[in-house]
Structure 1
Amino acid sequence: MVPALPRSLALLACCATLAAAPARAADVPAPATTPAAAEAQAALWLRDPAISPDGTRMAFRCAGQIWIVPASGGDALALTPAGAYAARPVWSPDGTTIAFASDRFGPMNVFAVSAAGGEARRLTFAQYDQAPTGFTPDGAAVLFWSAGLGDAVETGPIPNTHEDGRQLYQVPVAGGRDTMVLPNAAMEAQWDPAGQRLLYTGASIEQPFRRHQVSSAARQVWVYDAASGHHRRLTGGAQESRSAAWMPDGGVDYLDETSGSLNVWHRDADLGHPVQVTHLAGEPVRFLSASRAGDLAFAWGGGLYRLGHGAAAPERIAIHLLRTDFPGPHGWRGNALTDVALSPNGRDFAVVARGEIAVASIDGRFVKTLPHTAGEERGPTFSADGRRVAYAAERDGHWDLYESAIVDPEEHEFSQATRVAERRLTTGTRDSMMPAYAPDGRHIAYVADRSSVRVLDPATSNDVEVLPPGRTFSYDDGPWSLAWSPDSRWLALPVQPSLFLGNIALVPADGSRPAERPVPSGEGQWGPEWSPEGGMLLWHTDEGDLAGAFHRRWTADLEGAFTSRRAREAFARRLMVPVVGDLPPAAGDRGDGQLPGRPATDPRDNAAAHEAVPRGPIPVEIDGMADRTRILSQAPGQIVFGTLMPDGVSVLTVEQSPNPKGDGLVLTGTLRDLRRESRRTLFTAVPYQPGPPPRLARDRRHLYVLSRNSFDEAGTDGLTEIDLQRGTTRLIRISVDTTRDEAEARRAAFDQFWTLTARKFYDPAFKGVDWGAARQRYARFLPSLEGTRDLAELLSEMAGELGASHTGAYVRPPVPPAERVASLGLYYDERHPGPGMKVQAVIAGGPFDTGDSALRPGDVIDAVDGEPVPLAGGLRRILRDRLRQVVAVSAHHPDGTAFTEKVLTVDLGRERDLADRAWSERKRDAVASLSCGRLGYVHLAAMDAASYRGAASDIFGRFGAAQGLVVDIRDNGGGNLHNNLVTLLSGKAYMAVVPPRGGPTQDEPRDRWTKPSAVVMNAASYSDSSLFPLAYRDLHLGPLVGDPVAGTGTSVWWDQSLIVPGLTYGLPELPYHRLDGTPSENHAVEPDIRVPSDPEAWARGRDPQLEAAVQALLPPGGAPCPEPAIQPSRQP
C-alpha cells in the first residue's frame, strides 16, 4: 500500500537535469522505488503544463485544480477552487487571461479567468464535454472543441460521440456567440501568430493515453491553411503524433512516438525533415506547450519540465504547493442500488449500494449496513432462517466469502438487529465469489477463481468441487445463476459446450457425479429456475434464428424440462382436471396455490389439482429429460424473468420493452394458465433498471424490481414491490450509508482495476510489460489525486502501457437536470454571429418536421417562450431543463415575416439518432444518384441488433432488385455482429423459384445477399467493426474501400466500478485470430482501394470514399452518372 500523505502538504518536484538531443535514455533518472522515495514522489501527478507566452510562468493541473507557478519553479498559487474539476489551461497571447475546462455545473464547459485570479466567466453552455485548445491571435476569442451535429453539409463523419464527431469552435473571451471554425475534428488546435495557418491533431477513436499503436488510427498532426481551405498532414508515419506548437522561426515542435516513446520532435519552417529533440525513455512526454520565444514545457514521469529555447537539456521544475482539506471520510447516503436478495422470512431484503451491503426491512424503515470496507462487497444471499447473510468481499486484492449473522438469539429481523458478527468462510489463494445458500441453509454454492463451482458446508468447512475448471469462461464477474433444487440435493448451473454457447447443466450437490446437460441444445440456455416442488427445471432459451449466431438475447422463450417421468405424469394429470367455472375472487390466502384475488375454479377442481401434486421429493432423472421438455411462454419475447407458480399450471413471465413515454425500459408481467390456455396481464409500465432480474417472494405473491430514478443514470429510486394479486406497485425507498474515505476508495478501485487486468488481459505475458512494476510506478501518485477524473486518467496511462485496444478508463457523471439541453431537431448555421440562431436544415422526424410547419432553412429563431435567444450560449442555453416540453418558438423568415409555432422538444440522444438516420439517407441517395439507381446502400452505425435489422430490412426490401450493395461501416464503434453480417453477405445463388404463369421470382438462398457488394471503412471502424472487414476480405466477398482499419478485434468487458461512482474501465480479454494464427489485434486491415478521409472534400459536400465504392461496383466502361451536387435540405 502507498503511505498516505497529510492533507495539508507540500508537493515537491526536485530539480533535475534531463538530456535533450542527443542524450541517451540512461541519462534519465529512474523512478525511486524505496518507501521513503515513494512518499517523497507520491504527490507528483502534475499534468497539463501550459507555459505563458512570455515564458515566465506556467499553468498546470494538480488534484483537479489549475495552478500557476513561476517557470523556474517555486510556490504555486491555485487559480481555480477545489470542489470542481478543472483542466486544459491555455494562455491568451498577452498572458492576461487563462481559459480552461471545468465540470463546475456537470459537463466540462469552457471558462475564462484573469491570470491574476478572480471570478471565472462561463463561456459555453453544452451538455457534452468541451475543452479549450488555444486563443485567436488577437486574444479576443477562445478556440475549443465540441461534439455537436456540426454542419449539415460540410461535416464528414456521421454524428457521433468519438473524437471525429467533434468540431472546432471559437467563443469571445468577453462572452458571446460561439461560432464554428472548422466543421470537422481538430484537436489541440493553435493558430500561428498571423492567423493564417492552424496546427491541429487529427481525431482517433483510441483513448488518448494508449501507447505503441502503429496504425492509421494513430493521431497525426495537420496544418490547415485558412486562405485556401487546404488541409495538409504534417506527420506521415503510423505512430502517434500530437500536441504541436509553433516555434519562433515558423517551424513546429510536436510529440511523436517514432522513437518508441513520445518525445519532442522539430520540423523547420518548411515543415520538412523531422529532428528528434528529447530522448526520454520509459514514460511518454505529455502536454507540450511553447512560449513565443520557443521555450518548451511538458510533463514526464509525473513531474513538469522546462526546456529553454536553445538549451541543451530540459530541467525538472521544483514546485511547492500548499493545500488544505478537511480530514475524515467523504461520503453520502444514497439509493443507487445494483442488486437485491430477498430473505426467506419475507420481512427483510439485502441490497448492494455502491459496493456496500445493507439489509433493510420490507417497508424500508430500518436499514442495517454491514461492516464498511474500502473494497467492494457483492452477491448477498440469505440462509433459510434469514438470520445469516453470506456475500463475497474483495479485501487486500482478494475475493473471499464472508457471513454476517445476528448475534442475539431473541432477535429475528436482520434489519433491526442490534449486533451483527462477521466471519470469513473461505481462505486460501483462490478467489471466491457469487455465493448461493441452499434452501436447507446448510450449504453454500459458490464460484471459485471464475472457473469452477464448489459447495461449502460452513459448519464443517467441508468444501467440494462440483464443476471443475475448463467447462466455462467467465467473461465478466456477473452472476452465474447457481440454482438449488428445493430439496437442496441438486444444483443447476451454466456450462459452455463452446465459447459462445451456454447450456444448463445439473450436478449433485455432493459432487458424486459430473455435471451433465439434461437438454443439450444449439440454442443458448440461461437463467435456471426450479418449480416450487422441484418437478420441473426452467430456463430461458434463445429464439432459434439470429440470436444463436449473434450471441445476444434479442428474444427468448421460457422452456422447462420435467425432472422425472413421475413429474411429467403429475403435470399431465393437472392439465386434465376439468375447468368447472369461475367463482368470485376470494379474500386472503385460500391455500389453493393460485394468486390471492385471482379468479378461482370450482372447489372440486382445486381438490383434484392438489391430488395431482406429487408427494415427497422428486428424483432427478437426467436421462430422458431432453424428451420431457415444454415451451412455457406464449411467444418469444424479451423475457427477464419466468417461473412456474405453485398451482403447477400457471406460468408467470416478465418481459421488458422500451418505455413509450421516454427513455429507459419498463416491465410487463403476465400469467398464463396452461390448463385454460388463457393469459392475463398482471402489471404494466413498471420502470426497470437492467441488471439483476426481478425477485419473487417466497409466497409468490409479490415481485420486487430495482427501479431507475426517473430513468436517470444516477441510480435508483429503490425497490418496487409489485402486488401480483392487485397489479399495484409500491416504491420502497432505501437510504444506505455508503460513506467511504475518497482516497481509500480510489486506492481500492486502483487495486481492483490492476487485479482484474492481471487476471483477464488477453495476453498472459502482458505484451512484455512488467505489470507488477507498472502498479508500483503508478500507485505512488494516488495520494495526490482528487476526484474520479484524476483516477480515470491515471488508470488510462497505466493501461496505455499495454499497447492494446479497449483499454483505459473514463468518467460519465450524470448531467444535472438544469444542464440537460433540449433539442428542436435542427441544424444551425454555426457561423451566424447572431442575434438569434439561423436554421440551416430541419431534421426529418424532428419536432419541426410536421408537414405544416412554416420553419424553413434560412429562417432565424428569435425567442423561446418569449425569452430572447441570448448571444452567449444561444438556443442551447435557454433550452436547458426543457426536455420533452411544449415550447413556443418565435422566428422570422429572411423577408422579416415573423411567426410562432409550438413544438415538443426532444433530448440530444434523440436528436443524434435522427441526424444519424438523415446522414445515412443522404448517403443512400448519393449512391443511387452516382449509380443511376443500380446500387443499394446501407450504413451500420453499430454492430448491434438494431443496425442489423435495419440493414437486413433495406437489403431485401428496398434493394432486392439492385445490382450491387455498398455497406458503410465508417465510425462504427463495434458490438458483436460480424458473424451475422458476413453470413448475410456471403450468399451464393444455387436455385431459383419461377412461377410458371408469371409473377415475382425468387433466388435461393432467400435470406442472404447473393450479388456483388463493397465495404466502406475508416480508421474509426473499431472493435467488432474491424473484425467484419477482416473476415470479409479473407472470404473474398468484395472490395474494401477507404482508410486502413486498425486491428482492434478483441472482446472487452467495460466494468462499471461500484467503489468509485461514475468510473468505467476496459478489460480487453478475448482475442480473435485468423485461421493462420495471426491475431487481429494490432494487425491493420488494408483496403483494396485506398481513399483517405479528406476534410477538404467534406467541406465541398463530397464523399470520395463513397464515390470510389460506387465505381468499384459499377461495370467497367459503363456510362457514368452525372455527379450530384449535395445541397442542404429540410432532410439533411
Structure 2
Amino acid sequence: MRKILFSLFAILLGVGQSFAQVTPKWIRYQTISPDGETIAFTYKGNLYTVATSGGDAKQITFHKAHDYMPVWSKDGKQLAFASDRYGNFDVFVMDALGGPATRLTYHSNDEQPFSFSADNKSVIFGAVRQDLATHRQFPASYQPELYRVPTTCGRVDQIFTIPAEYVQISKDGKTMVYHDKVGSENEWRKHHVSSVTRDLWTYDVDQDKHTMITSFKGEDRQPIFDDSEENLYYLSEESGNFNVHKLSIENPKETEQLTSFESFPVRFLSFGNGTLAFGYDGELYTMREGQEPKKVDVNIRTQPVDNNDNYISIKDGVQEMDVSPNGKEIAFVARGEVFVTSVDGSLTKRITDTPSQERFVSFTPDGKSLVYSSERDGKWNIYKTEIVRKEEPFFYASTLLKEEPVIEADTDSYIPKYSPDGKKLAYISGRRNLRVKELSSGKEIDLLTSDDLFTMSDGDQYFTWSPDSKWILMDWGKLLSNNEVLLLAADGSKRENLTESGYQDYNPKWVNEGKQMLWFSNRNGLKSYATSGRTEADVYSMFFTQEAYDKFNMSEEDHKLMKAIEEAQKAEKDEDKEEDKKD
C-alpha cells in the first residue's frame, strides 16, 4: 500500500491563565523536605516548591519536557527528578532552590528516582535495563531493577535484579524498605485484590536479606520511615480505599489506619520532621500523627509555555483503521478522534471533535456510514456518522455530516460490528456480554454473558462475522487463562469450541468465502504451561466443509483439471443460454 500522508489538524490545547490559581487540581508526586518546611511537587509537567503552610508556589523547572517525581536529598539541598528531555525519562539532579539540572542517566529506557543514599552521594532509581538471564519471564519489561548513580555523574551500578519500587534508606544506610512488583497490573488501578498486588519488604544490607512484612491480598505501597525508624508509614487499601497506615517493623502485624478518606485514593506519601504529606483528589494535604489532615492552599502564578492553539501531526499516532467496502477510503482513529482519508492520502477529514475518546471505528457494509464507540458522560456508547448530501460520495471530501446514537444504554457498549448483510449489529454490552441486535425489529439476543466472558480492559475482546452473516468467530476466555476459538450461531442456536487445545488459540479470520478459517496458536513450539513467560505462535487453518478441504489438498495437476472442467461447463451453459434466446 502506498504510504498515506495524513494532514495536520488543529486541536485546542487548553486556555492558559496568567492569573493565580488557588489550590489548582492535579498536583502530583508531592514530597516533603527532610526538615518538613517545604513540599516539592509536579504540576503540568514542571516542578514547584511551596511552604508546608501553603501560599505562593515557586516554579523551579521551566523546560518544555515533562518533569516529574521529585526526590529530596537527605540534607534537603538537592532534588532528583525524572524528565524526558532527551526522548525518554532520565534521572536529573538540581539545587532545591532552582537552577540548572544535571543529567545523571543516559539509558534508552525510562528511569524513576526513588531516594538519595544515606550519604547523599548517590541517587537510587528504578529502570528496566538488565534482567537476570535466569528470570523465568526473561525479559520482563514490566519488572524494573534497582540501580544507583553518583550525584556527580558516573558509572551506574545495579543494586537488585528484583523489582523494588519507592525504595527508602535508613539514616545509617543499613536498611532499605520498598514495595515489590510481581505483576503487570496498572499502577493506578483501584480496589485491586489478587496474588500480584504489591507488598512491603525490608532489606538488611549487611546480611543481604529481604524480609516480607505485609501480605494483605490488596495493595500495600510506598513505605517510609518515621523519625525513630522503628515504624513505617505506608499506603494501603485494607480499608477499601487507599489511606495512610502505620506499622511496627518489629511486629508488622500491628497496624494502624491514620486517615479515613472514602471518595478517592490517597497518593504520593512522604514524611519529614514529624509531618506527613500526600495527595488527595488532585490536591495537597499534610498531617501530623494524631491530628486531622489539612489541605494546603497553593497559589500557582504561571502562563502557558506554548500557544493555546497548535498544529499537531497525527501521522505517527494511528491506533486502528478500517478500509471502506469500495476500497477508496480509510477510516482511522488518532488521538481519540475519528478521521477518514483517501487511499492516496491527498485528502483527510476529521469526523469527530469531542473531548471524549472514540475507538473501534468501521464502515457499515454499504460504505455510507461510519460506526464507532465513544466514551461520553462516563460510559461507552455506540454512534454512527453519515454523509448528509447524497451528491457527496466520500467522507474525506464531504461538507455536511450527521451523527446519531445507535446504542445508548446504562452500561458500557462498544466494539460495534455490522453483519455483512447490514441487518444485524454485534457488540459488547456491559463489558462481558456479546450481544446481537436485529436492526429492523430491535430484537436483541446475548450469545455470551458475564458467566462466559472475562475482560481486563476496554476492547480486549475480539470477534468477526462470517460472510453469510449467520455465524461469529470469537476469541473466548472464560477465565484469565488460555483463549480458545469459539463458533457462535448469530441466532443463539449453537455454540462450539473449535480448538480445545489447552494452549493459546486466538485471532480467527474467515477465508475462502466462509468455508475455512485461519488463526494463531502456540500449541507447537515455544509455549507456556502456566499462562506466563514467552511463547511463539504459528498460523493454523480449519475447514468447515469437506469440499473446501478436498480442494485445498488437490495437487497442482488436479487443480488445473478442475478449473478446465469448470470453464468448459460454464462455456456450455453460456451456449445453451444463447440458443434459448434464438428460440
Please indicate the TM-score interval, normalised by the length of the shorter structure.
Answer: 0.7 to 0.9
CA distance in 1, matches of 2:182, 2:275: 31
Secondary structure of the corresponding residue to residue 175 of structure 1:
coil
- Write out aligned runs for 1:491-502 (5 A): 491-494=470-473, 502=485
SS in 1 for 2:301: strand
Larger Cα-atom Rg:
1
**How big is each residue's C-alpha offset from its partner over 1:344-400, in whole Å with a ceiling of 9 and x where there is no partner?**
44433433444433333332222233233333143322454x5x1231232443422
Say how many residue pairs are matched.
529
| CA spacing shift, 1:491–1:194, aligned 2, 3 Å | closer
Indicate the SS of the match to 1:107.
Answer: coil
Give how far 1:484 is off.
3.9
The 1:369/1:463 distance shift into structure 2, 3 A limit, reads same
Distance (Å, rounded) in 2 between the aligned partners of 1:432 and 1:259: 33
Q: In structure 1, what residue type is equivalent to 2:175?
A: L
Matched, 1:201 2:182: no
| 2: CA distance, partners of 1:212 / 1:522 | 31
Change (3 A) 1:569 1:249: closer
**Higher-RCO chain (CA-CA 8 Å, sequence separation at least 6):** 1
Change (3 A) 1:95 1:156: farther
CA–CA separation in structure 1 for the residues paired with 2:138 and 2:522: 34
Contact 1:234 1:271 in 2 (8 A): no
Aligned match of 1:816: none
Residue 174 (structure 1) aligned with residue 152 (structure 2): yes
Note the alpha carbon deviations across 1:1058-1085, whole angstroms, 9 max, x for none. Answer: xxxxxxxxxxxxxxxxxxxxxxxxxxxx
SS at match of 1:415: helix
Q: Which runs of 5+ in 2 are unaligned?
A: 1-13, 578-583
Which residue of the partner structure matches residue 54 of structure 1?
35
Per the alignment, do residues 277 and 469 of structure 1 end up closer, same or farther by CA in structure 2, a change over 3 Å counting?
Answer: closer
Residue 125 of structure 1: how far off its partner (Å): 1.0
Following the alignment from structure 1 to structure 2, what is the Cα–Cα distance between the partners of residues 569 and 93? 76
Kindly indicate whether the alpha-carbon contact (under 8 Å) linking 1:436 and 1:446 is maintained by their aligned counterparts in 2: yes
Deviation at 1:503, TM superposition (A): 4.3
| Aligned position for 2:49 | 68
> Is the aligned partner of 1:229 residue 2:207?
yes
Shift of 1:77: 1.3
- Alpha-carbon separation, structure 2, partners of 1:288 and 1:422: 49
| Paired position in structure 2 for 1:278 | 258
Q: Secondary structure at the match of 2:202?
A: strand
Residue 372 of structure 2 is matched in structure 1 by: 392
| Contact 2:226/2:233 (<8 A) preserved | no
User: Cα offset for 1:301?
Assistant: 4.7
1:782-861 to 2 correspondences below 5 Å: none
Of 354, 358, 361 in structure 2, the residue corresponding to residue 379 of structure 1 is 361
Distance 2:303 2:550 in 1: 75
Is structure 2 residue 459 aligned with structure 1 residue 483?
no
**1:148 corresponds to 2:129:** yes
1:296 alignment partner in structure 2: 276
The structural deviation recorded for 1:101 is 1.4
- Shift, 1:111, TM fit: 0.3
Query: What is residue 402 of structure 1 aligned with on the other side?
Result: 384
Equivalent of 2:543, from 548, 559, 573? 559
Residue 117 (str. 1) matches residue 98 (str. 2): yes
The 1-side partners of 2:247 and 2:302 are apart by 38
- Higher share of residues assigned helix: 1
Shift of residue 201 of structure 1?
Answer: 0.9
Matches within 5 A, 1:1030-1041: none
For 1:84, which of 53, 57, 65 is the aligned residue?
65
Q: Which residue of 2 aligns with 1:539?
A: 517
Secondary structure of the residue that 1:426 maps to in structure 2? strand
List per-residue Cα deviations over 1:978-1030 (Å, max 9, x = no partner): xxxxxxxxxxxxxxxxxxxxxxxxxxxxxxxxxxxxxxxxxxxxxxxxxxxxx
Distance 1:537 1:276, change over 3 A: closer
* Equivalent position SS for 2:396: helix
Percent identity reads 20
**How far is 1:234 from its partner?**
7.8
232-241 or 71-80, which deviates more: 232-241
Change (3 A) 1:182 1:59: same
CA distance in 1, matches of 2:409, 2:133: 59
Which residue does the alignment assign to 1:1004?
none
CA RMSD after TM alignment: 4.9
Contact conserved, 1:577 with 1:608, CA < 8 A, in 2?
no
Instruction: Indicate the structure with greater strand content.
Output: 2
- CA change 1:202–1:557 in 2 (3 A) is same
Any conservation in 2 of the 1:492–1:528 contact (CA below 8 Å)?
A: no
**How far apart are the structure 1 equivalents of 2:396 and 2:252?**
73
1:12 and 2:49 are equivalent in the alignment: no
Task: Determine if contact 1:133/1:189 at 8 Å carries over to the other structure.
Answer: yes
Q: Secondary structure at the match of 2:427?
A: strand
Distance 2:335 2:508 in 1: 25
CA contact (8 A) 2:80 2:123 kept: yes
For residue 53 of structure 1, report the CA deviation from its aligned partner: 2.8
What is the rounded CA distance, in whole Å, between the counterparts of 1:255 and 1:271 in structure 2?
15
* Partner Cα distance (1:147, 1:498) in 2: 30
TM-score, normalization by structure 2: 0.73
Instruction: Decide whether the 8 Å contact of 2:112 with 2:127 is kept in 1.
Output: yes
TM-score by length of 1: 0.40
Pairing 1:436–2:413 present:
no
Give runs of aligned pairs for residues 935-1084 of structure 1, distance below 5 A: none
Residues 538, 558 of structure 1: 8 Å contact kept? yes
Partner of 2:116: 135
**Alpha-carbon offset, residue 121 of structure 1:** 1.0
Q: What's 2:11 paired with?
A: none
* d(CA) in 2 for partners of 1:398, 1:131: 34
For 2:461 and 2:245, locate their aligned partners in 1 and report how far apart those are by CA, in whole Å.
44
Q: Deviations for 1:451-485, whole angstroms, at most 9, x for unmatched residues? A: 2222325xxxx445477665974854555322343
Say whether the 8 Å CA contact 2:277–2:287 is kept in structure 1. yes
Q: Does 1:454 align with 2:433?
A: no
Shift of 1:110: 0.6
- For residues 29 and 499 of structure 2, the distance between their equivalents in structure 1, rounded to whole angstroms, comes to 56
- The residue aligned with 1:220 is 200
In structure 2, C-alpha distance between the alignment counterparts of 1:241 and 1:59, rounded to whole Å = 24
Q: Which residue of 1 aligns with 2:4?
A: none
- Give the corresponding residue for 2:9: none
